[in-house]
Amino acid sequence: MHRTIRWLAALLVPLIVLAVQPTAQAKKPGKNDIKQIAIIGAAAAAAEKMKPKAKPPQKAPAAPKVEIPGVPEEKPAANKKEAKKAAKEKAEAAKQAGDETFQTIAAMAKAGDVQAQYILGLAYYTGQQVKPDEKAAVEWWRQADIGGHPEAGAYVGLAYAQGLGDTLTNQEEAERRYLRAAKNGSALANVLLGIDSYNKNTPADKEKAIERFRTALQQGNPQAKAFLELITRRGTDARLNFGTNLDWNKEAKKTPLTDLYTQAGTNAFWGRIVEQDYTAAVSWWELAAKEDNATAEALLGTAYYTGRGVEQDEKKAVELFKTAAAQNEPLAQYMLGKAYLAGNVVQKNKELALKLFRAAGEAGIKDARRQADELEKRG
């Protein structure tokens, strides 16, 4: 549900700005080069796609398609039988990768990893990779909440509000949980508090609600964006019962688990929710990349390119950038453009660099637009 929190944070989430400091080399991207990188998060569609999906974080526009040298396009099947066979094999491989990754997440949660506990709760809540079990979901959220995960705290509040997993309904306790979670940075909690305030239908409460929605929007929450747009269209005098027909379980399902893994890595990179740990960030991105999450591949590539959290390997970094850029991932397009412009690992190609910068720029990366403009001015 990183669409709902963002991260959920993350499907999402919800531009996340990634400032990666490279090692000191003339051809490497500098601090200011990467400072403006917007990744698609959470809590948003797969991928950063998370932007992050959080992504935390709003999803950036899709980047234009750019043909990447050395990345073979998937050939269409010769007939329906071959197409069916290929689809089956692909699905089986994806399931196996998903199962293996989920087993790792479950083990991490049992070992006390607060982000893994939160994700495991969402998995049980939405039925992703595991049979739905609200009681188990709430139990994992409670553990993550104790560990300081703000979104887990918001979900525990939702459990009290809706009686999830045999939780005794208690609206006062739900509000107390929301307030604490919001104070700790939960976008979902701000949305839920905003809904409650707006539905009281007084000018003062509506004003408080709008502030809550604005805060949640800055955190990348898609519901907050929709609510604010509706208020702008209808005006505050209109009776708007926010959340009445909103199914939070369905909203949570909109964010794939791989987006949550990617967002967890970004949290570790920045020291959000958990202590800053570049190695842990890489581990999370590797889990998501194994399941072909383009945003995770781009972030993992950046880690290899700069040597943050993993031994520097520019060749591997460029391979990851190519794979992700072929899926129109903006961060990968931007970083690959830098490589082609400098002739680093790949053969120098200003024309291709320009195309990649333009594509990444259209997806929201400001420095990519600047680089493209400068290249065009030089001719």
pLDDT tens-digit series, residues 183-207: 999 999 999 999 999 989 899 999 9
| pLDDT for residue 15 is more than 50 | no
pLDDT in tens, 236-255: 888 888 777 789 999 999 99
| pLDDT for residue 331 is more than 70 | yes
Percentages helix, strand, coil for the chain (3-state, rounded to 5) are 60, 0, 35
The per-residue pLDDT for 241 is: 80
Bigger pLDDT: 299 vs 34:
299
**In 3D, which of 308, 274, 251 has the Cα closest to residue 108?**
274
**In 3D, which of 238, 257, 290 has the Cα closest to residue 93?**
290
CA distance 327 to 105: 26
Q: Give the mean pLDDT of 28-48.
A: 36
CA distance 196 to 200: 7
**pLDDT tier at 257, thresholds 50, 70, 90:** very high
**pLDDT tier at 84, thresholds 50, 70, 90:** confident
pLDDT in tens, 364-374: 999 999 999 99
Q: Is residue 179 in a domain?
A: yes
Q: Give the mean pLDDT of 164-188.
A: 96
Contacts of 173 (CB under 8 A, 6+ apart): 157, 160
* Burial class of residue 160 in the structure, from the number of CB atoms within 10 Å of its CB (0-12 exposed, 13-18 middle, 19+ buried): buried
The per-residue pLDDT for 5 is: 37
Residue 291's CB is within 10 A of a number of other CB atoms, namely: 19
Residue reference for tokens 């309904």:
169
Instruction: Provide the number of structural domains found in the chain.
Output: 1
The encoded tokens of residue 321 equal: 């950038």
The per-residue pLDDT for 220 is: 85
Residue reference for tokens 């412009």:
341
Residue 319's CB is within 10 A of a number of other CB atoms, namely: 17
| pLDDT for residue 138 is more than 70 | yes
Could you tell me the residue range of the domain that residue 237 belongs to?
Answer: 93-253
CATH number of 238's domain: 1.25.40.10
Residue reference for tokens 């073979």:
72
**Distance spanning both ends of the chain, measured CA to CA:** 45
Q: Is residue 347 in a domain?
A: no
Q: Give the mean pLDDT of 19-29.
A: 36
CA distance 248 to 367: 36
CA distance 213 to 132: 30
Q: Is residue 88 in a domain?
A: no
Q: Is residue 293 in a domain?
A: no
Q: Is residue 315 in a domain?
A: no
Which amino acid is residue 7, in one-letter code?
W
Q: Is residue 20 in a domain?
A: no
Contacts of 373 (CB under 8 A, 6+ apart): none
Q: Is residue 231 in a domain?
A: yes
Which amino acid is residue 245, in one-letter code?
N
Q: Is residue 359 in a domain?
A: no
Long-range contacts of 351-357 (CB under 8 A, 24+ apart): 352/66, 352/69, 355/66, 356/66, 356/325, 357/333
The encoded tokens of residue 123 equal: 């998995």
Q: Tell me if residue 81 falls in helix, strand or coil.
A: helix
Whole-model pTM?
Answer: 0.79
